[in-house]
Structure 1
């Protein structure tokens, strides 16, 4: 093998390895950004107050893709009716966020969230539910939006 061919081979290999490292760094940064956005989205989407349901649900929809926001509206309608009937307030507090998998454009998170509910059902005493949820986050320009929420 000639020296020129060896140099071309080494440069090509270095280029491939450099591209792989750059993509790995890009994916790592995406996972961190998606985890931060998922934390905020979980606290927003999983909290509501019967006195300000429209405001609570609008804030939640703002963290979601349009497709998922449509699905959310179906659930929010039922939850809103029950919340109004029982005078419920729910405050979600994210305890931990873990990245299950992901790349530069799509990240799956496992989110541990405590939801504190006060309502006529709880007789005014706060009840804390410890939940684990799976959030799928997708990149939309410079923002990360919720594409799916699923219980575990």
Structure 2
């Protein structure tokens, strides 16, 4: 008697055909799930080096800014001193030229470049000075002015001024005589203009 069959026919696998689980090649380089490599952090020495580099860069920038500001400030002072020197020379020329026959113009020019104590003192003594110049028939002309800044900054300067003059008066028997006057001017920068607020000179003592 033959045993009953189950209704299923067992088919033997074709040895030449790969199985489904063998049809895809295994990527040996692909990490298995749950075994992924951890993210590598840069070495501590690298982090320290980067930090030091940033600090050095900041220090270099700060140093450059500091020296630039110092350089700029120094240039501003030099420019201010030169402006004060030129103003002192111009004012020395004004002070050194006067004519007893036209003193009002002279006094106006002197007061225009004066400030502070010198302006007040000159204005207070101008009448007496005018009388002396008129009585002595004094005339002067400036032929040379030398100026130098003794000390100064952007707002104040001490100037040394040497004025070479030719003077004519009754005291010189109306003959032109060379003379020289040295002055020390204390100058202030007032609204961008250098004015003389103190002056030490024998200028107000005409021959």
TM-score normalised to the size of structure 1? 0.89
2:34 paired with 1:12: no
Q: Is the 8 A contact 1:49 1:90 kept in 2?
A: yes
Count of equivalent residues: 152
The equivalent of 1:125 in structure 2 is 175
- Partner residue in 1 for 2:14: none
1:23 match? 73
Distance in 2 separating the partners of 1:84 and 1:151: 20
Higher relative contact order (CA 8 A, sep 6+): 1
Structure 1's consecutive aligned runs of 4 or more residues displaced over 4 angstroms after TM superposition are none
For residue 14 of structure 1, give the secondary structure of its aligned residue in structure 2.
helix
| Aligned mate of 1:145, from 188, 195, 200 | 195
After superposition, the Cα gap between the structure-2 partners of 1:115 and 1:74, relative to the gap in structure 1 and judged at 3 Å, is: farther
Equivalent pair of 1:42/1:94 in contact (CA under 8 Å): no
SS of 1:114 mapped into structure 2: strand
- Larger Rg computed on CA atoms: 2
- Aligned partner of 1:62 in structure 2 is 112
Distance 1:92 1:149, change over 3 A: farther
How do residues 16-95 of structure 1 correspond to structure 2 at under 5 angstroms? 16-95=66-145
Q: Deviations over 1:55-85 (max 9, x none)?
A: 1111111111154211122343332111111
| Structure-1 separation of matches of 2:93 and 2:162 | 11
Structure 2 gaps, min length 5: 1-50, 203-207
Query: Root-mean-square deviation (CA), in Å?
Result: 1.8
State the match for 2:163 in structure 1. Answer: 113
Residue 4 of structure 1, CA deviation: 2.0
**Aligned 8 A contact 2:165 2:178 in 1:** yes
State the secondary structure of the residue aligned to 1:98. strand
**Secondary structure, counterpart of 2:170 in structure 1:** coil
Alpha-carbon distance in structure 2 between the residues aligned to 1:101 and 1:131: 20
**Structure 2 residue matching 1:23: 3-state secondary structure:** helix
Say which structure is richer in strand. Answer: 1
